[in-house]
Amino acid sequence: MLQVKNLSGGYSDKNILKNITFTVDRGEMFGILGPNGSGKSTLLKMISRLLPFKDGEIMVANHPIQNYSSKELAKLMAVLPQVTSEVFPFTVRETVELGRYAHQRSLFHSWSQKDESVVQEVMSLTKIKAFQDVSLQDLSGGERQRVFLAQALTQEPDILLLDEPTNHLDLSHQKGLLDQLKRWTRQRRHTVLTVFHDLNLASLYCDRLLLLDEGKIICIGSPEEVLNEPLIRRIYKTMIEKHPHPQVPKPNMVIIPETERDHQMILDGSHLSNSDEAVLFHSPIPLKTVASASSGSGMGWKEKFFISKNSSIETDPKAIEMKVQNDDQFYTNSREYHEDGFSILFVLVTNLRLQFFHTWLFINGRVCESALIEAMATSLEVKETVLREKHRPNETDDGIVVAATQKGIHFATARPTSKLGKIIRRGIMEGSAKLFNSMQAGMSK
Ligand SMILES: Nc1ncnc2c1ncn2[C@@H]1O[C@H](COP(=O)(O)OP(=O)(O)OP(=O)(O)O)[C@@H](O)[C@H]1O
């Protein structure tokens, strides 16, 4: 639908865009990303013919863009520029009606039924009907944004160019607008080309993304390809992490505030308390946790880790609880392992008959989600190895917790052969040996 080939140009003698080439297909939602001043708006201005280009070619529906008259182009393409505070004193309805200009055959063209039905439909769609008689000057930034979008949609274009369309919109209107645009591309096979500052909205809604920097294309591809963690860190010169979105298979880019990255050892044995009735680890900060437990299983941010005979803290969303169904004495072993730049506290808890064997790991370090799961798998494997020779009852109830401060040294893996995996192996092996020795000593007393 749109082909841009070797496009270069800018403002008078200032060359901004350098050799830009890409195509956008019919029905595609295509996002343009890049840091401030990278040339995103300049690119949209050239495609919408607001700004002449120096070299290259822009083809719309297989014809060079300069071959279209203004009216012909306005039927094919509509533009929603960055909304500014400067507006004419028109009413909302008058502003939206201006979008029908391209469809009027002559200067004296009368307002047709078709014109009216398009304006009505678009005003409902963008939820601006309620204030159609209000002056544009009396609207908020978000309301104006929706009016200009309505004006662009009344043109009934095949291609819609948008410059930061969600800029002034609250959460619900951002979602409403983008859901609507997505439906528009899918159902009517229209094409949307839109500039985004919000990488996550771009990831969620766009089929493909183009990343610009200093007027050059850095990368074009699916959100998964373009939102590459090291690349985005380098281009935006900031600390950002890539995580999977919790609901849809799209990347989610997360900003890491500087204070959260301070490196200090926070967790140690002083946060552990032990009694005949319960074992409690109470962290001073929320820990990124993956757990298998009686309550609180799964992935989340937790602060309290509890093994109890009687009490229940099931309703506390910050807690993980492992219930014990008998009155036997607890046997606990806890030990800290300090390595270069990080440490792990191991807590192992069982009873004499080994009816349960709980393994907790508290890591002073940054462990990515996949490594947390690997740490859990490694812990499970080592625990099974140490318990293999023991004669356990048929019904056992073991829990595992791997929790990390997410500060300091970064671990990308915790497979058994990795640095973290090896310490997990050592910690559980040595801790269980000590635990079994103390249980042996207790029995022979
Ligand atoms: N009218 C103009 N005259 C001269 N230079 C301009 C003009 N408009 C923009 N520029 C320059 O062109 C470069 C690209 O600007 P552009 O607005 O395309 O960037 P952008 O990626 O859209 O930035 P932002 O994210 O801040 O909106 C910038 O260096 C800017 O200063």
pLDDT in the model for residue 107 = 57
pLDDT in tens, 265-285: 788 889 999 887 789 999 999
Question: Which ligand 1 atom is the nearest neighbour of the CA of 43?
Answer: 18
Q: Whose CA is closest to atom 28 on ligand 1? A: 37
Q: Is the pLDDT of residue 311 over 70?
A: no
12, 14, 210, 216, best to mutate for ligand 1 pocket (most atoms within 8 Å of CB): 14
Q: Tokens for 171?
A: 């959460």
Domain boundaries, the chain: 2-258, 269-444
The closest residue, in CA terms, to atom 30 on ligand 1 is: 37
> What pLDDT sits at residue 141?
80
Nearest to 240 by CA among 224, 219, 261: 261
**Minimum mean pLDDT among 146-150, 344-348, 403-407: which range?**
146-150
Query: Mean pLDDT throughout 298-309?
Result: 90
Give the pLDDT score at 197: 93
pLDDT band at 305 (very low <50, low <70, confident <90, very high): very high
Distance 193 CA to ligand 1 centre (A): 18
Name the residue among 30, 35, 32 with its Cα closest to residue 234.
Answer: 35
Rounded distance, CA 240 to CA 236, Å? 9
Give the DSSP letter string of 250-280.
SEEEEE--GGGG-------GGGEEE-SSEEE
pLDDT band at 60 (very low <50, low <70, confident <90, very high): very high
Please give the pLDDT value at position 352.
85
- The mean per-residue pLDDT over the stretch 249-253 comes to 92
Residue range 160-192, pLDDT digits in tens: 999 988 887 889 888 888 998 898 888 888 899
Cα(195) to centroid of ligand 1, in Å?
13
Under the banding of pLDDT at 50, 70 and 90, the label for residue 430 is very high
What residues does ligand 1 touch, defined as CB less than 6 Å away? 11, 14, 16, 34, 36-42
CA-45 nearest atom, ligand 1: 18
Closest-CA residue, ligand 1 atom 2, reads 11
Binned at pLDDT 50, 70 and 90, residue 345 comes out as very high
Ligand 1 centre and the CA of 164: distance in Å? Answer: 14
Region of poorest pLDDT, from 34-38, 173-177, 426-430: 173-177
Cα of 55 from ligand 1 centre, angstroms: 18
- pTM beyond 0.95: the answer is no
Three-state DSSP at 98 gives: helix
- pLDDT band of residue 328 (cuts 50, 70, 90) is confident
Mutational pocket test of ligand 1: of 7, 13, 15, 16, the residue with most ligand atoms within 8 Å of the beta carbon: 16
In angstroms, the CA 105 to CA 96 distance is 18
- Among 40, 54, 199, residue to substitute to test ligand 1 (most atoms within 8 Å of Cβ): 40
pLDDT for res 312: 62
Helix (H) or strand (E) holding 374: helix 369-387
Closest-lying ligand 1 atom to the alpha carbon of residue 34: 21
Q: How confident is the model at residue 84 (pLDDT cuts 50, 70, 90)?
A: low
Confidence of residue 335 (pLDDT cuts 50, 70, 90): very high
Question: Which one, of 400, 403, 418, lies nearest residue 366 by Cα?
Answer: 403
Residue pLDDT, tens place only, 193-246: 999 999 999 999 999 999 999 999 999 999 999 999 999 999 999 888 888 888
Q: Is 344 exposed, middle or buried (0-12, 13-18, 19+ CB in 10 A)?
A: buried
Q: Is the pLDDT of residue 261 over 60?
A: no
Specify the pLDDT at position 169: 82
Q: What's the pLDDT score for residue 2?
A: 94
Specify the pLDDT at position 79: 87
> What's the CA-to-centroid distance between 86 and ligand 1, angstroms?
19
- Best residue for ligand 1 mutational test, from 7, 8, 12, 42 (most atoms within 8 Å of Cβ): 42
Mean pLDDT of the chain: 88
Evaluate if residue 83 carries a pLDDT over 70: no
pLDDT of residue 260: 55
The answer, yes or no, to whether residue 380 has pLDDT greater than 60, is: yes
Query: Could you tell me the distance, in angstroms and rounded to a whole number, from the CA of residue 41 to the centre of ligand 1?
Result: 7
Among protein residues, the one whose CA lies closest to atom 31 of ligand 1:
37
Residue 314's SS3 state is: coil
- 105, pLDDT greater than 70: no
Predicted confidence at residue 8, as pLDDT, reads 95
pLDDT category, 139, cuts 50, 70, 90? confident
* Closest atom, ligand 1, to C-alpha of 39: 18
Q: How confident is the model at residue 314 (pLDDT cuts 50, 70, 90)?
A: low
The residue whose C-alpha atom lies closest to atom 13 belonging to ligand 1 is: 37
Instruction: Kindly report the protein residue whose alpha carbon is nearest to atom 3 of ligand 1.
Output: 11
Q: Which helix (H) or strand (E) holds 19?
A: strand 14-24
The architecture that CATH gives domain 269-444 is 4-Layer Sandwich (3.60)
Mean pLDDT, range 402-431, rounded to an integer = 93
Ligand 1, atom 6, lies closest to the CA of: 11
Confidence of residue 333 (pLDDT cuts 50, 70, 90): very high
Query: Can you read off the two tokens belonging to residue 265?
Result: 């050892």
Q: Using 50, 70 and 90 to split pLDDT, how confident is the model at 115?
A: confident
Identical fold for domains 2-258 and 269-444, yes or no, is no
Predicted pLDDT of residue 111: 74
What number is the average pLDDT over the span 66-87?
81
Taking the C-alpha atoms of residue 99 and residue 89, their distance in angstroms, rounded to an integer, is: 16
The 10s digit of each residue's pLDDT in 389-399 is 888 887 888 99
Distance 166 CA to ligand 1 centre (A): 19
Q: What does the DSSP assignment read for 140-200?
A: -HHHHHHHHHHHHHHT--SEEEEESTTTT--HHHHHHHHHHHHHHHHHH--EEEEE-S-HH
Which residue is closest in CA terms to ligand 1's atom 11?
37
Q: Is the pLDDT of residue 108 over 70?
A: no
Distance CA 213, CA 215 (A): 5
Check whether domain 2-258 has CATH 3.40.1190.20, yes or no: no
Nearest CA owner, ligand 1 atom 24: 36
The alpha carbon of 76 and the centre of ligand 1 are apart by a number of angstroms equal to: 26
